[in-house]
Structure 1
Amino acid sequence: MSGMKNAGVDPLDLVDPERYARRGYPHDAWTRLRADAPVAFFEPAGFEPFWAITKHADVMEIAKQPLRFSSASGISLRRAGARVIPTEMIVMLDPPRHGPMRRVANAGFTPRAVRERAADIDRIATDIVDGATAQGATELDFVERVAAPFPLAVIAWVLGVPRDEWTLLFRWTNEIIGKDDSEYRRPGESPGQTIKRARGEVHAYFRTLIAQRRAHPQDDLVSELARGKVDGEPLTDEQLVSYCELLVEAGNETTRNAVSGGLLAFSEHGEEWEKLRARPEVLPDAVEEILRWVSPISHFTRVATEDYELRGASIRAGDQVALYFASANRDEDVFDDPFAFRVDRRPNHHLAFGFGEHFCMGAHVARIELETVFRHLLERLEAFEVAGTVERLSSITNGSIKHLPLRWRTTSGS
């Protein structure tokens, strides 16, 4: 194994979920790696060895080569000895299987399809934000009242999940994404047991819902998926439930992280909130800056299928490679003053939605969701501040805030 040194970075800064929970993303470590070892090899105890890719250009170079760098072995850093479980989830499919599977649901996520849903997304945001700011409420947990229920309600409505069952999706998502966090595990369960049980419950739920939609189709995405075909053949139950699981997790968790992380950023950079209130026309740019700044997903992994040279480093076939999107989004060679949060930043070539074959299918929905919820917040909130301890998820993959206590002052008339 030949390549660069690792710039003196402690491997635990990259793989210890408790450090992520205490400190947030390891931006200091990533900054050192970008400067001194942008292709660095780590062998942390308890994890499979991996290459850390931290520069924007290098992340894109690997992400656009899915045949040389496979997703089939998983998309997050693997614990030592972890068994790779075959899955039909499209985020872990390589060409040529990935494209046809992705196209089954693509029509529901085009810009046109999303625009057609904009009024319903606005209605959901209105209900949730109005509920949070009603009756003069001045202190609340922003994640619990706004950031978590809003994207959950949107994706559940799109899928066709009955409203009284939305909380099930929320619990399962928390357990799957937060398997390393004791708040989301059941007493006595290991992370592996938690994710196995929660995924089993998700799959059982969607098998039932899919059977109902096959018998009685409705105007929802589960019905559309159930009608979908790949190479002229209907999707199997396993393919369908894997699709639904991915949509629930990605559609809920990443937008939730961006909403909560975005408002936290505004609480720390009050002048940018005032700028946005004075110039609401830059809200689309502000959304892109929130995505860059928060980077809801820290990394995805790939496995090299052949030997590959990158910046003088020799990546061997079978090596695990971590693409650090959150680091790429602070790359000094791409972003002017990358550690400044600026709502009117242009250009903003962030990689918050990934790049290449696996670019986020729901990017258009996420952008509309973020524009919508922050437009409502701009109309209602004059000022706000953190009113307690910000609690982050114990996860090396998801930049999730579990609890964000806020104290705020609403605008007159809201």
Structure 2
Amino acid sequence: MSSQFRTGPHHEFFEHLDWYREEDCARLPQELAWSRRECPVVHSGYDGGQYVVTRYDDLRTVGEHPDIFSSSTPGVRHVPVLLPPLDLDPPLHRDFRQFLNPYFSRSFLQRYVPEMRRLADELIDDVVDERRIEFVSQFAIPFTAGSLARVVIDDDNESRMRRAIEAVTAVATGDQGAYERVAGIAAEILAERAAGTSDRAGVLQSLVTARVDGGRLLSSAEQLGVVTVLLLGGLDTTRGTIAHIGRYLAEHPGLEQRLRRPEWVKRDLEELLRHTSTVSVMGRTVTRDNELLGHPLKAGDRLAVHWQSGNRDELKFEHADELRFDRRKNPHIAFGVGIHRCIGQHFARLQIEVAVDRLLRRLTNFSIAPGTTVRETAGVVLLAPAELFLSFEPVPERST
């Protein structure tokens, strides 16, 4: 690394920071606030050493200069598998995004909305008479996992599609072995598509026919790497945002009525995204010596770019820690910045819109269930409710 570790309690916290340690994650927001004020590019000893970038403007600089801040190591620790297009730089990154982008446009994703609505309604059917729900495991996880599996796998074999949804849901609940089942199903479908037994339009078909890097087909490792990125990248993030909204409905008086207005999607959704920050922190590698962040960096230095911290930057957002729906401008970076801006941003928005719409059609008067506390999950992606018991009342049928 390009500078020596400085002493002091805050520097020491970052030097010993473990992104996956619960107590560190709980303390991190206050330490990031200190960093934004006093040391916006702060050294950490994690995984061999890296610099944590915390201010909004610096994060935009990183995202807008992929030639200087490479995405070849997109995590805060090294990952031993291919993760295209997440770990690709131009020009190869452009080739992958070019064939994937059409399948994550809002217009293409609209075809899945009826199935997403049906899934949400089925999950609500299971709990409506109980007037109580463990919101994460009974709604947020199965809704996002089912929606994601349908969009990414999108198989015309319904039996296999059901197995895929079950496997993706298991991955979302922490069953790491379930990913092998997902990968096996994806590989099976890819083989069929390559053999020409099905030409159903969608993500998997595009992986078979796309040409990159001057005209070559994707390798099998690249194909499965894309599936990995799309599934794992979409599970925790949108689920976390929906779980946060469930909590906000219980804890913020007036929010339910606000989200019942059709126009909430055009403005209020952006504030919810800023405040929750679906993608918290990612990695970059410096390609050449520079001082673009006001700090001397050397080629080979690694960065942890903390998008969530940028969304809490008081220099950019007044009362940044508060959920405020009266912001005139909201240029949040919840989906990142630049060429690596999240490919699933339209899908995430659509899932949130459908989830809120179906919930509020059927349920009202949310509160934290008596005798329960909200249990948070601590991790590198997102601080979000891991267990959230809500009480509610059914909406009278004549009002639906």
Question: Are the equivalent residues in 2 in contact too, given 1:88–1:239 (CA < 8 A)?
Answer: yes
Give, in whole Å, the separation in 2 of the partners of 1:87 and 1:123.
Answer: 35
Aligned-pair CA distance for 1:6: 8.0
Aligned-pair CA distance for 1:164: 3.2
Give, in whole Å, the separation in 2 of the partners of 1:296 and 1:152.
Answer: 15
Cα deviation 1:46-82 (Å, max 9, x = unaligned)? x321111111110010111112111112x2222xxx6
Tell me the residue number matched to 2:158: none
Tell me the residue number matched to 1:395: 379
Aligned-pair CA distance for 1:248: 1.3
1:104 aligns with 2:99: yes
Give, in whole Å, the separation in 2 of the partners of 1:13 and 1:270.
Answer: 36
Match of 1:376 among 358, 376, 379: 358
Secondary structure of residue in 2 paired with 1:383: strand
Give, in whole Å, the separation in 1 of the partners of 2:361 and 2:327.
Answer: 22
Unaligned ranges ≥5, structure 1: 176-183, 185-193
Question: Are the equivalent residues in 2 in contact too, given 1:392–1:401 (CA < 8 A)?
Answer: yes
Tell me the residue number matched to 1:169: 168
1:208 aligns with 2:188: yes
Aligned-pair CA distance for 1:353: 0.7
Cα deviation 1:277-312 (Å, max 9, x = unaligned)? 4x4422332221221111122200101011121453
Tell me the residue number matched to 1:43: 45
Aligned-pair CA distance for 1:222: 1.6
Where in structure 2 are the equivalents of 1:296-375 lying within 5 Å?
296-375=278-357
User: Greater CA deviation, 2-11 or 284-293?
Assistant: 2-11
Aligned-pair CA distance for 1:173: 4.3
Q: Which amino acid aligns with 2:194?
A: R
Cα deviation 1:342-378 (Å, max 9, x = unaligned)? 3454421111111111111111111111111112222
Aligned-pair CA distance for 1:4: 9.7
Match of 1:237 among 214, 220, 224: 220
Q: Which amino acid aligns with 1:85?
A: P
Tell me the residue number matched to 1:127: 122
Give, in whole Å, the separation in 2 of the partners of 1:52 and 1:305.
Answer: 17
Q: Which amino acid aligns with 1:289?
A: E
Aligned-pair CA distance for 1:14: 5.9
Give, in whole Å, the separation in 1 of the partners of 2:192 and 2:154.
Answer: 11
Flag the 1:96–1:386 CA change in 2: closer, same or farther, 3 A: same
Question: Are the equivalent residues in 2 in contact too, given 1:3–1:39 (CA < 8 A)?
Answer: no
Question: Are the equivalent residues in 2 in contact too, given 1:5–1:37 (CA < 8 A)?
Answer: no
1:275 aligns with 2:258: yes
Q: TM-score with structure 2 length normalisation?
A: 0.87
Flag the 1:157–1:20 CA change in 2: closer, same or farther, 3 A: farther
Tell me the residue number matched to 2:66: 66
Question: Are the equivalent residues in 2 in contact too, given 1:55–1:327 (CA < 8 A)?
Answer: yes
Flag the 1:56–1:340 CA change in 2: closer, same or farther, 3 A: same
Taking only aligned residues, the RMSD between alpha carbons, in angstroms, comes to 2.5
Flag the 1:16–1:200 CA change in 2: closer, same or farther, 3 A: closer
Tell me the residue number matched to 1:141: 134
Question: Are the equivalent residues in 2 in contact too, given 1:4–1:313 (CA < 8 A)?
Answer: no
Question: Are the equivalent residues in 1 in contact too, given 2:168–2:179 (CA < 8 A)?
Answer: no
Where in structure 2 are the equivalents of 1:184-223 lying within 5 Å?
184=175, 200-215=180-195, 216-217=197-198, 218-223=200-205
1:89 aligns with 2:69: no
Flag the 1:374–1:68 CA change in 2: closer, same or farther, 3 A: same
Give, in whole Å, the separation in 2 of the partners of 1:144 and 1:276.
Answer: 23
User: Greater CA deviation, 301-310 or 219-228?
Assistant: 219-228
Flag the 1:6–1:31 CA change in 2: closer, same or farther, 3 A: farther
Q: TM-score with structure 1 length normalisation?
A: 0.84
Question: Are the equivalent residues in 2 in contact too, given 1:128–1:145 (CA < 8 A)?
Answer: yes
User: Greater CA deviation, 115-124 or 321-330?
Assistant: 115-124
User: Identical aligned pairs, as a percentage?
Assistant: 27
Aligned-pair CA distance for 1:13: 5.5
Where in structure 2 are the equivalents of 1:279-290 lying within 5 Å?
279-290=261-272
1:55 aligns with 2:50: no
Flag the 1:352–1:3 CA change in 2: closer, same or farther, 3 A: farther
User: Greater CA deviation, 309-318 or 361-370?
Assistant: 309-318
Tell me the residue number matched to 1:156: 149
